[in-house]
Amino acid sequence: AYQRTHNAEAAVHVFESLVQQYPQSEHGAEAQFTIGVILGGSGKEADARGAYAAVGKKYPQSEWATKASLAIGESFQHEGKYVEAATEFEKLITLSPDTELGQRAFYNRGWCYAQKGQPDKTLADFGEFMKKFPDSVLAPDVQFWIADYYLKKKDYIKAQEQFQLLVKRYTTSKWADTAQYWAARAAYLRQDYKPAIELYEAVLKNFPDSGWRCDARFGEGDALSELNQFGDALLVFDSFTKDFPDCYLAAEALGRKGDMQFTLGRFDEAISSYRKALDAAREGDPTLRNQIYYGIGLSYEKANKLDEAFEWYSKPVYEQAAVPDPNTPPERFWMCKAGFAAGTIKERREQWRDAIILYQRLADLCPDMKTLLEQKIRKLRVDHVILF
């Protein structure tokens, strides 16, 4: 009762009394073990290990003695003492290799290597684990780590294989839908777009409650666009906006819908989609916002509506210049791209001074383009005799 009400000191006192007064009690070993649990939960890891060690000394034949051996290793692990933790786990692996606790020790030892910055040793350990204990309750976690290891190494072929192996072997695992999505993502990242589409569709078909469904639908549209199947991609992004209106990718999906409409020459529809994307865009995301501004400007330019195109192209430049956020690095790629396009429109209209003023402002905001812009300004001044 004291433990449940988080009165750690009183709980430890009572459990210690039980062990001292009734050392042969059937509850003695569990009480001694629980003292370690309470002390560890209070941040007293060294004291906790002492309590766990006492279980092995006082009750060496009990099931709690084996649990205490594992708990000592985990206590070292909590403190970041991975060498000591691995040593404790190895003892248990040697004593009880085929038990559930032995498997847990095997698993924990692998994590110790990873936390020590030795992921290759973890890979070897986990590979051995999968050979010995493919039916362990920990096997799906181990399999996912292996797949993720290859993904981080950008070995997308092996990553895809390992993720798909997890889905095949452990269909009811909590990792199954995540593995299905990342198998698709691995295929996409190695530019194998057709299999990626099939794998994304499998997330939608086989995992109706998955949190990866909106990501999978977006990925499907992305892969179709990479295959230049813009009509099909447009249908996917259109269905995304209807089926997943609350997804964190909603604004990006509307933007991609606009991209597809633009590619198909449907500029008015593209502008409409981009405007909706702008409304849905998260606050504090200048990259997406400026990209949308550029998309709207380009759509107006293609429709030969240059006044509107200039208005949207110039928005990123003047918004950044007017309200710079000192705590946030400026988004430069789309801002500079849009600003340069705005200046080009001024040149097309032979509004040389306006173009020079815009390029001067842009040179202050886009250091990577400063030399190019200064050369352009000098050329405009010389070619059109503009001295000031």
Provide DSSP, 174-229. TTHHHHHHHHHHHHHHTT-HHHHHHHHHHHHHH-TT-TTHHHHHHHHHHHHHHTT-
Q: What is the mean pLDDT of residues 32-51?
A: 95
H helix count then E strand count, the chain: 20, 0
Tell me 1's DSSP state: -
At 343 the pLDDT is 95
Which residue in this structure is represented by tokens 């794998």? 199
Distance CA 316, CA 294 (A): 8
Q: Give the pLDDT confidence of 236-276 residue by residue, as tens digits.
A: 999 999 999 999 999 999 999 999 999 999 999 999 999 99
Q: Give the pLDDT confidence of 294-303 residue by residue, as tens digits.
A: 999 999 999 9
Give the other-Cβ count within 10 Å of 253's Cβ: 26
Q: Give the pLDDT confidence of 218-231 residue by residue, as tens digits.
A: 999 999 999 999 99
Nearest CA to 333 out of 366, 358, 363 is that of: 366
Tell me 47's DSSP state: H
Q: What is the average pLDDT score of the chain?
A: 93
- pLDDT of 329 over the 80 cut: no
- pLDDT of 387 over the 80 cut: no
At 322 the pLDDT is 67
Task: Give phi and psi for 62, each to the nearest 5.
Answer: -85, 160
Tell me 329's DSSP state: P
Structure tokens belonging to residue 370: 């400063």
Tell me the residue type at 384: H
At 98 the pLDDT is 85
Distance CA 147, CA 165 (A): 9
At 388 the pLDDT is 67
- pLDDT of 96 over the 80 cut: yes
At 385 the pLDDT is 84
Q: What is the mean pLDDT of residues 69-73?
A: 94
At 324 the pLDDT is 62
Q: What is the mean pLDDT of residues 363-386?
A: 91
Which residue in this structure is represented by tokens 């916002």? 289
Residues 366 and 335: beta-carbon distance below 8 Å: yes
Q: What is the mean pLDDT of residues 25-44?
A: 94
At 13 the pLDDT is 96
At 325 the pLDDT is 65
- pLDDT of 321 over the 80 cut: no
Residues 6+ apart with CB under 8 A from 302: 262, 265, 267
Q: What is the mean pLDDT of residues 203-211?
A: 96
Q: What is the mean pLDDT of residues 206-229?
A: 97
Residues 39 and 49: beta-carbon distance below 8 Å: no
The sign of the dihedral angle between the CA atoms of 361, 364, 366, 370 is positive
Residues 6+ apart with CB under 8 A from 204: 213, 216, 217, 220
Structure tokens belonging to residue 366: 């886009």
Among 287-296, 323-332, 363-372, the least confident range: 323-332
- pLDDT of 327 over the 80 cut: no
Q: Give the pLDDT confidence of 342-359 residue by residue, as tens digits.
A: 999 999 999 999 999 999
Percentage of the chain beyond pLDDT 70 is 97
Distance CA 35, CA 29 (A): 10
Distance CA 32, CA 64 (A): 9
pLDDT tier, 289 (very low <50, low <70, confident <90, very high otherwise): very high
Q: Give the pLDDT confidence of 6-17 residue by residue, as tens digits.
A: 999 999 999 999
Q: What is the mean pLDDT of residues 307-331?
A: 83
pLDDT tier, 110 (very low <50, low <70, confident <90, very high otherwise): very high
Tell me 175's DSSP state: T
Residues 111 and 76: beta-carbon distance below 8 Å: no
Q: What is the mean pLDDT of residues 153-182?
A: 97
